[in-house]
Every structure is written in structure tokens, then in C-alpha cells.
Structure 1
Amino acid sequence: MRKLNDAFATLYNGDNIVKLTELRYIPRWIVILIDISIILLSILLSYIFLEKLHVKVNFPEYIVQQRILVIAVNVVFMFVFKTYAGIIRHSTFFDFFKIILSSGSTLITLLGINFATEIWLGKSLFLYPNLFLYFFISVSIMFFFRMFTKQFFNILIDFKGSTSKVRIAVVGVGDASISLARAILHNPNYPYRLEGFLTKRSDSHKALLLGHKIYNIDKFFGDKNLVSQFDAVLIIKEIMTKQELEEWMTCALDNGLKVLKAPTVSKMRDSDLVGGIRQLQIEDLLNRKPIKIENEDIKKRHFQKSVLVTGGAGSIGSEIVRQVAQFNPSLIVVLDQAESPLYELELELLEKFPDQKFKFVLADISNSYRLEKIFEIYQFSMVYHAAAYKHVPLIEENPHEAIFVNVLGTKNLALLSKKYKVNRFVMVSTDKAVNPTNVMGASKRTAELFVQSLQNSDSNITKFITTRFGNVLGSNGSVIPHFRKQIEKGGPVTITHPDIIRYFMTIPEACELVLQAGTMGSGGEIYVFDMGEPVKILDLARRMIKLSGFTPDVDIKIKFIGLRPGEKLYEELLSNNATTIPTHHEKIMISRDPNIGFNEIEILCKQIIKSAVKRDKIQVVTLLKAIVPEFISNNSEFEALDKKNDSLDVIEL
């Protein structure tokens, strides 16, 4: 009622447009009064129409009582079908259907009364044409009133703040696109104004949809004056293929329009539409089709089991924790040596999974004594080993640190998993371990070899599994957040080489495949994931600049800085000597890589760990090249070691 009073007050004061659009709904009693007024008007019109035709009514002496009866019957059915309950400005076909039911029931009831009076009094109380005429007039006026009110508010909403709103064209004319457009039209507080629809169809250019034009994509983008009337295109990503998404994005950006994306209406129910609409990100273009995960198998491996996740505060580790928590394990131990990220994750998980039992452990995986106590206390069923040093240039400068974490840490965890009879040990590796050109990749390949060797070692019952994949979108230190920061600062965007390419995968997708691979095989396998098509980093940078509303090499410069130490132009998922074997999961394959016996790799690992303790960079890398013969340094100080013609004799230190 207060809102209505405010609206009338502002009408009187003259500032009516803004306040009227803020009026959420008219009180129900006012809607009832309006509908009763429409009933009275319909009765009068029907009688006037008959009088003009010189038709005499039955029982003219009871004309007032007849009208009261019609009103009473109609009001009763208005309450039965609650025709007053809907918000008029949001009227739909369902509201019209309720009016039909109410008026139709009134007509049937009055026809019944007519039939009864014919039997008892010899003639009908109402003229039959009068009843049908009243029915059509009342239904028409009630429907017109609601549609007029709805359209009136739409006009006011469009007019309100029109200069400050983003003028958008919704892509598509399907149900999802129309529902999205309706949601924007009916909400005056949204910072968007619907201006039309875009489609590839050529048969809709003369039609109107929700009162707005439908434009063909070719004619629209071919008319610069028309394009200038819009600020952005709005797409629903879920209903488009990757190719369609890229096509629409390219057309919009090339014509100076922003590209916004919105969730489907079903997802809008869970979150506010304004929060759901956002600018299209490069991650949206790199995403692939959702992965089909066999949740039942994964659940059996984790339900009421004790699980350890190392590197649990990192990008991959934390997502593994989140996904494992959905399967109700008895305990999840999250282990990491990064204090602040671990604490932040603890706060997040305790809020998100209040019923799940967690243990957050601050520890270094190179400390075997610390780890053993943890294994002894918690008796793990599953171990996910995601802890690792991964930044190529830093590790190239500090190779001994890679040995402590990537080699010694992995060795400690794998041996303890065997000793305490862990059911499955799943190691997260990298495509940089394949034909490595840097210390980081070679250290991860060494870790792979050690883990594989344990599978057939004496008295082992643990299944040792390795998963190998490429770059993940949004992970700590990945290229996309780095480019985004450079663009925000005005550039330049730095790229190491114009021809460099990389594979990309989302963090949830990578972790889902890690969990899936952890349920497969008999142990000793290296699982490689389908990473899709490689992405040229130069193309990636240009798209990100365009999506940010800038022109590459004009607003934001692109600068080539040369390959970093240890970096190569392209990554591989398989070594030269490897073959792949398909699995029952279309995105997971088994790589058959050469391996080393446990005794041999154990001796080599002891040697390289001793060299790392001495901080002898040359000896560490020399031993890495002995363990991983395919390790050929690139753009690194260690290239000199590859030029030696004499064979390397590895002697026990």
C-alpha cells in the first residue's frame, strides 16, 4: 500500500516515470475493484448493444437484480480461480487462461440458471445472445487491461534511465533467448535495455518479438549505422557450440560491440540475473564439452574412506579436495607447506562442507619423519599427490629445489603409501615430463619413473597411478591471469615467441579426470588426458585484448620477449617411445612409456638427492640427464651438458 501511495504522490508532484517503474505490484483489492468495474462496463455494453438492435430483454422490471446476479456469480468465480492474484505488469498466457476459466464458469452457471427459469417460469431470465455477448466483452476488456498495463510499464521501463543502460541485442530467437529477454524487459533495475534480437535465419526480419525487431546477422553487421545503435550482444553460452560462440564473438568484436554472456533461465533461479550476466571471458572460448564422470565408481573409492591430498592448497589440489568432499569420505587430510593459502582454504571448506571432517596439515613433503607420523595416524585409503614445484624458469635457476620437492617428496609419499598399504596412490604429473627441455619437466619424469617402479616391487599391494595433462585455466601462475593483469595495466602483453602453442584444460575438468583415472587400471599406468586442440598463445592474447574492449597492437601492444630458460614451443603428452592404449573413458588413454626397475631408480634417486643437498647445480642436472635420457635442455645454461660426446658415468656418491 505504501508503494501505491508513493506512486500517486509522485504522479501529483510530476516525477511520475521513475516512481511508477518502482511500483512492484497493485494491491489485490484494487485489482478486484478494477475487474468488478470491467464486469459492470461489460454488462452495460452488452445491454446497450441489444437496445441499439431494438431487442427487448426478459423481465425488464428485474433488470437491477439481473445485473447484481451476474456480478455476484462472476465475483465468486474470480475468487475461485484467483484472477486477481497475478502481478498485472507480468501477465502471461496463464493469467489469460484463468480469466477464460472464470468467465467461462460464469457463463455456464448463468446458462444453467436460464435453463432452470425456462422450466419454472416458462421463459429464460436472460437473453442467450446477451449472455454470450457479455462473456466476450468482459474477457476481451480484462485481457486488454492486463496487456495494456504490461506494455505501459515496459515502455516506462525502457524510457527510465535509457541513456545510462547498455543497449543489447539478444542472440537467438529460441525459448531460452526469449525467456532471457523477458527477464530483462520486466526488471527496471537491470542495467540493460533490450533493443532487438540477432539470428542467422533470414525469414524473420519482418517479424517482431516482444515488440522488438529481429535482425539477420549478415544484414545487421553489414550496416554500420544500425550497429551503432547497440552497445553489446548477449549470448547464452550453454545453447551454442564452440564454433558458433567464436563466430558471434568475432562478428561482435570486429564491429566494436561488447560480448556479454548470460546463464540459462533455469540457472537464473539460483542466482540473480544481473550477477549472472557478465562479459565473455577467454576461458569461455577454451572450455570443452562437459565430461561424463562415472560418479558411482568414484564414490565407492571415497565413501567413508580416509583421503590425503598433498599440495591441497594449490589450484589442482584444492579442487580435488572440493570434488572428493562430495563423496562423503570419513576424513580428508589437506596437506600443504603454504601457510596462508592453506588457512584460506580451511575457512572456505568448513563453510561449504560443514558436515565433512577435515584435517589441515602444514608440512613439507621432503620431511619423511613428519609424513610418516601422518600416515601412521590416519591410515589412508587414497592418496592424491598434487604437491610440486612447477614454474619452469625458477626451477631452472634452482634445480636442487625441484629434487627436494618433486623427487624426494614424491619418493617419501610413495614409499609410505606402500608401507601403510594405501589402496591407491594417484600422482598428478605434467606434459612437461614428456621429452623434457627443462629441469622441472625432468624432475617430474624422474618422479613418474620412481612411482611406476614401485608397482612391481616386493610385497606391494598399493596401486600406483600417474596422471599427465597440460596447462590448466586459472591455475596459479598460468598465462591467462598474467595476460589479464597486463591488459588492465594498459600493456604491453608479453609473449615469449610468436609460434608458441599450449594445451589448455579447466581446473574442474582436470580434477574430474584425475579422480576418474584413480578408479581405473591395476596400477603402474600413466594416464594421459585428451587435451583437445592446442591453442596458439599469440591468438589467445589477441582475443583477450579484443574481449577487454581494446584493439591489439593499437590500444594494447604485444611484445615478444624470447623463450625463457627451459621453455619449448610446444608441449607433448607422449614421449617418442610411447604408445597409447584406449580406455573405456573417451578422454583418458594409457601411455606405454619406458620404465626402470625399482632398485636402479632407487640408487639414482639417492645419488641425485645427495647432489641436491650439496647445491651442485651441474651435478644435479647431469644426473637428471642420466635418469631421463630424452632430457635435452633448451635455451638454458645446461645446454652445454648435452654437447658432451662422452657418455655420462653415474657413480654412487
Structure 2
Amino acid sequence: MKNKLKRLLANILSKIANIPYLPRWIVFCIDILIVFVSFTISYFVCFDLIKAPILLSSYLIKMGVSVFVSGFFILLFKIHTDVIRYVGFRDILNIFVSLFCANIVLVIMNIILKHFSLCFMPNIGFFINLLLTFATLVFFKTSIRLLFDYIKVKNYEQHKYVSVLVYGFGASSIDTARLINHSSTMKYRVVGFIATAENSAHKHIFNLPVYSLKDIFTDKKILVRYDAIVINPAEIDRKEKQPLSTQCAKSKKELLSMPSVEDLMKEGTDLKRLRKINIEDLLQRIPIQIDIESIGQLLTGKTLLITGAAGSIGSEIVRQVCRFNVKLLLACDVAESPLHEICLEIHDKYPEIKYKPLIANVRDYDLMKHVFEQYQPDIIYHAAAYKHVPLMEAYPCEAILTNVMGSKNMADLAVEYNADVFVMISTDKAVNPSNVMGASKRIAEMYIQSLSKKLETEHVQKKPRFITTRFGNVLGSNGSVIPRFEQQIKEGGPITITHPDIIRYFMTIPEACRLVLDASNFGKGGEVFVFDMGDPVKIKDMAEEMIRLSGYEPYKDINIVVTGLRPGEKLYEELLYDKEAVKPTHNQKIKIGTVKEYDYENVKADLLNLLDIAKKHDHLAVVRRMKEIVPEFISQNSEFEECDKD
């Protein structure tokens, strides 16, 4: 009998839970009915208190006026549009304000009628009416809310939802908790919050407890209450994320990530896509703020040329500039298939953007000249480059022809065709280069800087603002260590690293591109902008963390093997030379490097000589000449170390 009653109750609750949202007109009718009943009670109570007779005709007229005025303010404040099962404090406040306004109007009408020896009802009646109507409406709506909350709890128990704690209790964390618990499709239920400060623990939000970070991993009573922790990785610092991830792995608790802002913008992501946190989330920092409005003014109505548009950085610049009303977007790359993919993405997600894919090589001066002549680009983001250190160590002539000659071609054409802005994407490997790739980018930097200085010295009126940007490794870029580690973990290991002490700076691709756009906006010309990459990350620590995030124990389930430094690789990268100082900018994440200046004619002569050698494909001769141009280029773990002995 008891079980039958439970099943019957469960069926009833299930049917109630599946009731669709009531149409607005029905909610409005319910609200008007409550107004009618409340006014009637208030009217009769008031006249009973003053022992005055009640005329039915007078009552009906006054009731009609009261219902009309209250109904008007209910419509004005859109009280009837609230979803009753989710009613909250703001909705209740809205109800009170609308009823207060309605009764104020009725009181004013009553004062006017008294001048004509008429009376709507004593003023105390309006006070009673306000309190009674408000209390009845709030009681009705909160009762429905509590009923549906009770049904949810029962559903959680029946379907065994995943219990989660939300990290932090700022505005975004509270919104996250509310959205999760209000969702009828998610498999999660928020059972509490995690205090980021010790003195904030032991409180309650939405009747849910706030635990201290220490207690959630040490208190056995708390450990059994939750299965996972939800964080917004973009809102907490790296130093907070990594210990949290390690503790979750040790406690066998999942660490889940909210969708990023970029995901929400690009894919229409919703809360159903809570996912396990990954290494990119742990390394991501609090988002960098840039002046979007000012950048929009720079890009609006302009023709943009993006070289390397199908690469990791180039494609993200494409995505970010599509947010602005550009005149024409020229996406240039030699890789046909990836360029086709980015064009499909533009077509699908940014249908209003006018764009033109260009299969073109920046090494081909005549072809690029034709592009400039035909489209007259205003702003150039030069991201086309060879970037893989070991490959360029094997093919130094190719590195020179693409990274140096390609950059020279683009810069010269920007001058010839009166472009407004030219931004070259460089690398931290250009600082004290230990490999061909870094040295080739340094030579390209030298040419861009000296060309800018020459134009400034000659007081050329219409000249491009030449801007160079330097940053380190970007997370998730093509060929980076993270996809390789993921593949090795998937295959059961081992993970291979080149040295136990090797460190690198990391930045997310969207973060890097936002800074590139910001630099292009406020750069005056000739600067080398250095991005704040945060603290360097030890690759060995990253590998261990990735193993834990995959549910394994480092060195026990999956081993880490040291293979030795690759050709041209060094233990750490720098963003500035020792002799270079930095100047601050309006953006605390961007600094201006006060780099050494070079004479344009000397740099040009050296560069042309270097290109002549590269075109003969004499690798050794090319590297020797590079070392003469960039004396600080000292090869490491490379066959070209012998050149440093000369």
C-alpha cells in the first residue's frame, strides 16, 4: 500500500513537472482574479470597520475601476510574463512596485472625488488592499515555485543526477548555479558553493551551503555529498586552477568547465555542454580586456589583408575581425584545404561579411603586387610564416625565403600602396635566437623596424604604421605539444619530453589575437610590442597534469620519457634581450620593447645578399650569413654549432 502511494505520488509529480508554461493571458487572468478577490475583501472589511452601509451598484463600479487600474499596471510592469515556477526576488519586487503604483493612482482618484463630496473608500482600505493583494500574489507564485523545486529534488533523487559544487560565489558563479538547477535537461544538480576565501565559508546561498576549499577534500561528510566541481576557467587564475585540478584527481572528483566566452560566441553553446576540464583551461588566465570600441573604429569600413589566414593565429584573427563591419576581408594562404575550411566558417557564422579567399604565397612578389593593386588593403596582419623549429633547422633556406623575403615583400608593398597599418606577428624565439626559425624572424623584425625608421626620418606623409608583436607559444596551435601529449596518452603512453627542466610561456590563441588587434590600434609605428605571457610553465609539470586529467597516475599508469633537446631547441625562451627595456602602454598586458635601431640601407643590403644565398639552397652558407647579421644567434643542439666556432 505504501509503495502504491509512493508510485501514485511520483506519477502525479511527474505529470505536474511536464505541464508546459502557462500562456500569458491565463497568468494575467489569474492575477486579475487575485486583484478582484483582494479588493472585495478589503472593501468589505474597510466598510465594516467604519460601520458604513455598502451599496452593491457603488461597489461594482469601484471594483471595476480598481481592477482596471491594477490590470493596467500589471500589463505595464509585465507581471504576467513571469514564468511562475522560476519566480525570484526581482519578480516579487516588480509585483510590489506595480501594486503600489496602482494604489497610489486610486488614492489620488479618491482625493479628487472627495472635492465633489464623493468617496471611493477610506484611505485605510487602499493600504489593506495593497498588502492583501501583494501577499496573495506572492503566496500563490512562491507556492508554485516551491512545488516545482520539490519536484526537482524528487527527480534528482530518482534519476541520480550528478551533484556538483560551484567554485566561488561571485555574480557569474551564482548565475551558473541558478541556470544549472533551473535546467530541466541537465544531468547536474548544484549542492553547494566553494569559498575562495576562508572567512567566507559556512554561509548559505539559495539555502545551499558554502564550504571552504580545504574542507571539501578533507571532510569525509562533505566528500560524499558531491561528485564534481564546476569552474569558469576564464575567471580564476592559473595558480588557483592547478592545485584544484590536482586535488580533484587525488580525490577521484571530476573537474568540470563552463563553456568559454569564445565558445558561446562561436557555437551558441549552452549549459548542456559542461565538460571535463582540460589542460588549456588550466593554463588559461583571466581574460585580457581590450578597447573593442576603439578597435571597431579602426577596422570599420576598411579592407583587411590577413596572410597565413588558414593558420592557428591567422584564422583566429579572421574570426575576431569578422565581429566588425569591415569593407572587405582578404584571407590569404597557400594551404588550400585549411583556407577552404576557414572560408566555410566565415560563410556560415558571419554571412554579412564580404570576404575573398586568396591562394597566394607571400614569397611571390609579383602575385602579391597584383593583390595590392587590385584590392588596395588598408590594414595588413602578416601572420604567414614557417614556425616549426626542427623543420626549419633542416631547411634554413626555406625559412629565409618565407619568413624574411615574404615579410619584406609584404612590407614593401604596404609602403608602395599606401596602407594604413602593417602588423607583423613575431615570436619570443627571435630573442637571442638559438635556431634558424627564431633568427629568421629576428631578421624580419630588423627589416620592418629599419624601414619604419627610414620613412619617419624622411618625413613621408602617407606611410604605414609598422608594428611588430612578440609572444610565446599559443595553446592548441597546429603542431603544439598539447595535441601531441593527448595523442600519446590516448595510445597508452609514454609521453615524451625533450628535457625535464624545459619551460615555455603559453597564451591562448584568442588571447594572443586580441592583443594583436589592440596593438594595431594604438601603435604609432616602429614599435615592438611584447605581450605579458604570465609565468612560464614547466613542460614536465604540464605532462603530469594532463595524465591526471585523463584519470591516470603519472609514472605509474603512464610514464614520462626524456628524449633530449631537439635541433635548435633551448631550455627557456625570452621576450626581450637583456639590453632591451620596456615601456608601459594603456594595456597592462602589453609593453613596448625599446629595441636596438638599425640603418635601413645596411639591413637591406645584408638581407638582399642573404636572399641571394638562400635562392641557391646552400644551407650552411645561409646560416653563416644569418649569424653575421644577427651576432647573438648561437645554435644549440644543431649541426650548425660548428659555425659558431669560426
> What is the alpha-carbon distance in structure 2 between the residues aligned to residue 178 and residue 191 of structure 1?
18
Q: Which residue in the other structure is 2:154 paired with?
A: 159
Q: Which residue in the other structure is 1:234 paired with?
A: 230
Task: Compute the TM-score of the two structures, normalised by the length of structure 1.
Answer: 0.79
Corresponding residue to 1:515 among 505, 517, 526: 517
Structure 2 gaps of 5+ residues are 1-6
> What is the alpha-carbon distance in structure 1 between the residues aligned to residue 97 and residue 423 of structure 2?
64
> What is the alpha-carbon distance in structure 1 between the residues aligned to residue 271 and residue 481 of structure 2?
29
Contact 1:333 1:358 in 2 (8 A): yes
Q: Aligned-pair distance for 1:362?
A: 0.5
> What is the alpha-carbon distance in structure 2 between the residues aligned to residue 223 and residue 141 of structure 1?
44
Q: Which residue in the other structure is 2:188 paired with?
A: 192
Corresponding letter in the other structure for 1:514:
V
Deviation string for 1:138-188 (max 9, x for gaps)? 765554443232222112112225444221112334444333323222222
5 Å-filtered alignment, 1:176-215, equals 176-200=172-196, 208-215=204-211
> What is the alpha-carbon distance in structure 1 between the residues aligned to residue 134 and residue 227 of structure 2?
41
> What is the alpha-carbon distance in structure 2 between the residues aligned to residue 205 and residue 578 of structure 1?
47
Contact 2:164 2:192 in 1 (8 A): yes
Q: Which residue in the other structure is 2:494 paired with?
A: 492
Structure 1 residues 326 and 13, CA, compared in 2 at 3 Å: closer, same or farther? closer
Deviation string for 1:627-647 (max 9, x for gaps)? 2222222112222333x3x4x
Structure 1 residues 349 and 175, CA, compared in 2 at 3 Å: closer, same or farther? closer
Structure 1 gaps of 5+ residues are 1-10, 647-653
Deviation string for 1:81-123 (max 9, x for gaps)? 546654331222355456657887689979999xx99x999xx
Q: Structure 1 stretch 399-408 or stretch 104-113: which is displaced more?
A: 104-113
> What is the alpha-carbon distance in structure 2 between the residues aligned to residue 517 and residue 138 of structure 1?
59
Q: Which residue in the other structure is 2:373 paired with?
A: 376
Deviation string for 1:199-223 (max 9, x for gaps)? 2566777654323333333333221
> What is the alpha-carbon distance in structure 2 between the residues aligned to residue 196 and residue 301 of structure 1?
46
Corresponding residue to 1:148 among 143, 149, 167: 143
Q: Aligned-pair distance for 1:58?
A: 6.1
Deviation string for 1:234-262 (max 9, x for gaps)? 23456545544555545444433222344
> What is the alpha-carbon distance in structure 1 between the residues aligned to residue 321 and residue 21 of structure 2?
46
5 Å-filtered alignment, 1:452-531, equals 452-455=449-452, 461-519=463-521, 523-531=525-533
Secondary structure of the structure 2 residue equivalent to 1:638: helix
> What is the alpha-carbon distance in structure 2 between the residues aligned to residue 416 and residue 139 of structure 1?
72
> What is the alpha-carbon distance in structure 2 between the residues aligned to residue 240 and residue 25 of structure 1?
37
Q: Aligned-pair distance for 1:335?
A: 1.5
> What is the alpha-carbon distance in structure 1 between the residues aligned to residue 190 and residue 297 of structure 2?
49
Corresponding residue to 2:395 among 398, 412, 420: 398
Corresponding letter in the other structure for 1:181:
A
Q: Aligned-pair distance for 1:36?
A: 5.1
Secondary structure of the structure 1 residue equivalent to 2:377: coil
Q: Calculate the aligned-residue CA RMSD, in Å.
A: 4.5
Corresponding residue to 2:428 among 426, 431, 455: 431
Does 2:18 align with 1:22? yes
Q: Structure 1 stretch 24-33 or stretch 378-387: which is displaced more?
A: 24-33
Q: Structure 1 stretch 256-265 or stretch 523-532: which is displaced more?
A: 256-265
Does 2:642 align with 1:640? yes
Corresponding letter in the other structure for 1:158:
V
Structure 1 residues 624 and 247, CA, compared in 2 at 3 Å: closer, same or farther? same
Contact 1:107 1:135 in 2 (8 A): no
Q: Aligned-pair distance for 1:471?
A: 1.3
Does 2:558 align with 1:562? no
Task: Compute the TM-score of the two structures, normalised by the length of structure 2.
Answer: 0.80
Structure 1 residues 71 and 273, CA, compared in 2 at 3 Å: closer, same or farther? farther
Corresponding letter in the other structure for 2:225:
Q
Q: Which residue in the other structure is 1:444 paired with?
A: 441
Q: Aligned-pair distance for 1:509?
A: 3.0
Deviation string for 1:516-535 (max 9, x for gaps)? 43455664443322222211
Deviation string for 1:302-343 (max 9, x for gaps)? 444443222122122223334445554443322110111112
Corresponding letter in the other structure for 1:222:
T
Contact 2:235 2:287 in 1 (8 A): no
Q: Structure 1 stretch 219-228 or stretch 426-435: which is displaced more?
A: 219-228
Q: Aligned-pair distance for 1:451?
A: 2.9
> What is the alpha-carbon distance in structure 2 between the residues aligned to residue 539 and residue 93 of structure 1?
46
> What is the alpha-carbon distance in structure 2 between the residues aligned to residue 289 and residue 335 of structure 1?
32
Secondary structure of the structure 2 residue equivalent to 1:527: strand
> What is the alpha-carbon distance in structure 1 between the residues aligned to residue 419 and residue 51 of structure 2?
94
Contact 2:215 2:222 in 1 (8 A): no
Q: Which residue in the other structure is 2:3 paired with?
A: none
5 Å-filtered alignment, 1:569-608, equals 569-583=571-585, 585-594=587-596, 596-608=598-610
Secondary structure of the structure 1 residue equivalent to 2:426: strand
Q: Aligned-pair distance for 1:502?
A: 0.9
Contact 2:86 2:145 in 1 (8 A): yes
Calculate percent identity across the aligned residue pairs: 41
Larger Rg: 1
Corresponding residue to 1:311 among 305, 308, 311: 308
Secondary structure of the structure 1 residue equivalent to 2:398: helix
Structure 1 residues 228 and 600, CA, compared in 2 at 3 Å: closer, same or farther? same
> What is the alpha-carbon distance in structure 1 between the residues aligned to residue 604 and residue 200 of structure 2?
71
Q: Aligned-pair distance for 1:300?
A: 5.8
> What is the alpha-carbon distance in structure 1 between the residues aligned to residue 513 and residue 201 of structure 2?
46
Q: Aligned-pair distance for 1:370?
A: 1.5
Structure 1 residues 160 and 605, CA, compared in 2 at 3 Å: closer, same or farther? same
Q: Aligned-pair distance for 1:70?
A: 10
> What is the alpha-carbon distance in structure 1 between the residues aligned to residue 300 and residue 171 of structure 2?
40
> What is the alpha-carbon distance in structure 2 between the residues aligned to residue 417 and residue 200 of structure 1?
51
Secondary structure of the structure 1 residue equivalent to 2:216: helix
Does 2:160 align with 1:172? no
Q: Aligned-pair distance for 1:500?
A: 0.8
> What is the alpha-carbon distance in structure 2 between the residues aligned to residue 601 and residue 395 of structure 1?
22
Does 2:428 align with 1:413? no
Deviation string for 1:433-485 (max 9, x for gaps)? 11111111122222223333434558775554332221122222222333334
Contact 1:261 1:277 in 2 (8 A): yes
Contact 1:429 1:469 in 2 (8 A): yes
> What is the alpha-carbon distance in structure 1 between the residues aligned to residue 42 and residue 525 of structure 2?
86
> What is the alpha-carbon distance in structure 2 between the residues aligned to residue 303 and residue 102 of structure 1?
44
Structure 1 residues 610 and 206, CA, compared in 2 at 3 Å: closer, same or farther? closer
> What is the alpha-carbon distance in structure 2 between the residues aligned to residue 152 and residue 368 of structure 1?
72
Contact 2:439 2:633 in 1 (8 A): yes
Structure 1 residues 137 and 63, CA, compared in 2 at 3 Å: closer, same or farther? farther
> What is the alpha-carbon distance in structure 1 between the residues aligned to residue 126 and residue 64 of structure 2?
15
Q: Aligned-pair distance for 1:406?
A: 1.3
Aligned length: 624
Q: Structure 1 stretch 499-508 or stretch 63-72: which is displaced more?
A: 63-72
Contact 1:78 1:84 in 2 (8 A): no
Q: Structure 1 stretch 283-292 or stretch 32-41: which is displaced more?
A: 32-41
5 Å-filtered alignment, 1:282-301, equals 282-294=279-291, 298=295, 301=298
Does 2:346 align with 1:349? yes
> What is the alpha-carbon distance in structure 2 between the residues aligned to residue 294 and residue 346 of structure 1?
27
Secondary structure of the structure 2 residue equivalent to 1:15: helix
Deviation string for 1:27-73 (max 9, x for gaps)? 554885698599879999999x99xxxx999699x899999999878
Corresponding letter in the other structure for 1:18:
S
Contact 1:386 1:427 in 2 (8 A): yes
